[in-house]
Structure 1
Amino acid sequence: MVGCVLAGEYSLQQAQYIFRRTNDYQKVCHFHLTDAMDQIFKKLEISTINDVFNCAKIEQVMNIVRTLRPEISKRRFEIVLYNMKNTKILHQKNTKILSSSIKATTETPKPMSNICALCNLQRQRCELNVRQINEKLIIMVGWILLDYCSIKETARFLEPGGRLVCHEHIFETIFEVFETLQIAQMKEIDMCSEGQMEKIMKIVDSLSSGINFKGFSACLREFARKNKVTNGDLKNAGLTSQFDPEKSPKIEENSEKSILQISTTRCAICQKSQNPMKIIQSQNEKLVIVVGNVLRGVVTFKKAKPILAMSDQPLNFCVSHITEAIDGIFRALQREKIDEIRDSCPYMKNVMIVVNVMRPKLSSGLFVKIFQDFVKIHSKIQ
């Protein structure tokens, strides 16, 4: 869809309509996939897939991505693009797009058992090389972290004889797990404490794997080693480490200052003072503003958390950020009216991922109530 919008084949509105109607895997001609990658590479002004993590123009494409899928971060989209190097759409050696290499074929269709459980692409049997239960567990954890599927949906893949997973999802999964743990080198896997593993271990425990955090660390290390994931790969992905000797002390030293640096006279989001603003004191209202602006990509998690840390301090917010927050949440939920929003909305889990980073124990039902009250006060949307 991003490629089609860049090519002018669809408008953003048409692309959104297709996304709302499509809840299952769909077949797409190789030509369209190749053309889409051509368009994205052209827009980003890059020639190889390895350049995607250091591309200065990625934000120009992210404007389209956020319109179609507000919950998709820049990091996740970069990883999605990077994983295209392992498909037949990109040359596996030099990772350059080869539009002319896709030719008509009359090959006999491969059996359904050779279809990857995640991307639904037909593969050679040797390409579906994630077979062991511990390897599948790591893939499942990565899928849930990436919000590709729910815990309930992934459980069946851990059963003996379950569907196979192809090789291209390995890097994607490992990058996401490493980013969640805030580590950037293989040796740091063993440096993670049980507390740092908490988020991942909740997923592992919910999958009834019977593996403790030391066992999972060992599985992750072996999985990365087996698939030849190097520190260079992790560095190219732009991962940062909590154990970095240059960064860790600064983060600890400035953690309190970062809260104090939020001005009480300027907008807490953009630090500007010339725009029309509203004073917000309620923690619940601050939460809605932060969540909506994170979903829209206006502010990062790192910058958002100090805002909520000032619990008793009234803060200024640009009126535009307040309305954009409402719009961002409506878009993420794919709803247009406040009375259409329920905690059972199919896209609620995407919003709750952001909410629970800010307030881990808040339920979806309570957040819906908070959001409804916020809309009634700060918007004419009903």
Structure 2
Amino acid sequence: MTELRALLRPELQGATPYGAPQLDVPVALNTNESAYPVPPVVVDQIAHDVAQVAATLNRYPDREFARLRELLASYLTKTSGEHVTADQVWAANGSNEVLQHLVQAFGGAGRTALGFTPSYSMHPLIAGRGGATWIDGLRDADPKRFDLDADLAVEQTKQHDPDLIFLTSPNNPTGTSIDLDVVRRVYDASDHAIVVVDEAYTEFARTGTRSALTLLPGRDRLVVSRTMSKAFAFAGARLGYFAAATELAELMRLVRLPYHLSSVTQAVACAALEHADTMLAMVERIKTTRDALVDGCLELGLQPVPSDANFVLVGGFADSATAWQALLDEGVLVRDVGIPHHLRITAGTAEENTAVLQALRTVTAAGRTSTTKGNA
């Protein structure tokens, strides 16, 4: 009998699928979902709009998702101050599919993609599955620092001459934002690379943090990627999007599957965008619990990284795997992202915040995991 795995493409040999644990626990704070459900007024709007669409499901959806693009452009314009038009916008089933489209268009066999790790784990997976060679760049010469050093980023861009460059701001899993000057310098360091700024968590950024959307004019190789999964509490809807030069957005039609956004997906996303203010009202509450989580971890002698996202990377654990299990034993699920001595904790509700801090207090006091000051 043929061993099917042996028939896989060479780059998939030995690979494992992406996946975060989905466990039935009292407090799940491992996947950076919104802690708050979709507001009832939006649920009612979604139900109404989907019911309207249901009678037309015998027909294919609007291939150009025109209304959705208009609403996304309006949202980006309102929140960033940069005028974005509908023909600059592209959307797909989650930001991962958006990134996949970019790799399919500008990556592929014989091409390279550069990212600065630790960063979003799907970037190398999407690049590699699309045939591109992934280059693991350094964020800082000191592995204990998580800021993206501009000089080092430029140096690596020139050294590797990649076809695609991924910048993540706020960065996952560190929660740190990058200065727009870093984006400018990395962009200018190449004359052909598509530069993707992944802003999945940007709505949670602290006051004064500017979006790379403001850099779009005059930069036809710059892409700013977003998602509705996080700030819009829409992880289950699967809707990601980007803004870029009109020509770049048009090129995505060469790689998308026909009618890739269903009529139901479009209706649900449009309903949420029509109630954007209501959907985003919970962002400030999440930022409050995030900051309280930082303060609480400091009081416990841990080393949280200041965050612009809806999560906190917490350092100071003697062994992250042991700490992860100890917290799980207390009914709290967080994420071990593979950074020694660190765990990533989603900012939940005030009650969930209290629960995770109590769990941290319990496991440290019981000696089931210990902290170390030298591993930040």
Q: State TM-score, norm by structure 2.
A: 0.30
Q: State TM-score, norm by structure 1.
A: 0.30
By relative contact order (CA 8 Å, sep 6+), the higher-ranking structure is 2
Q: Which has the higher strand share?
A: 2
Which one has a bigger Cα radius of gyration?
A: 1
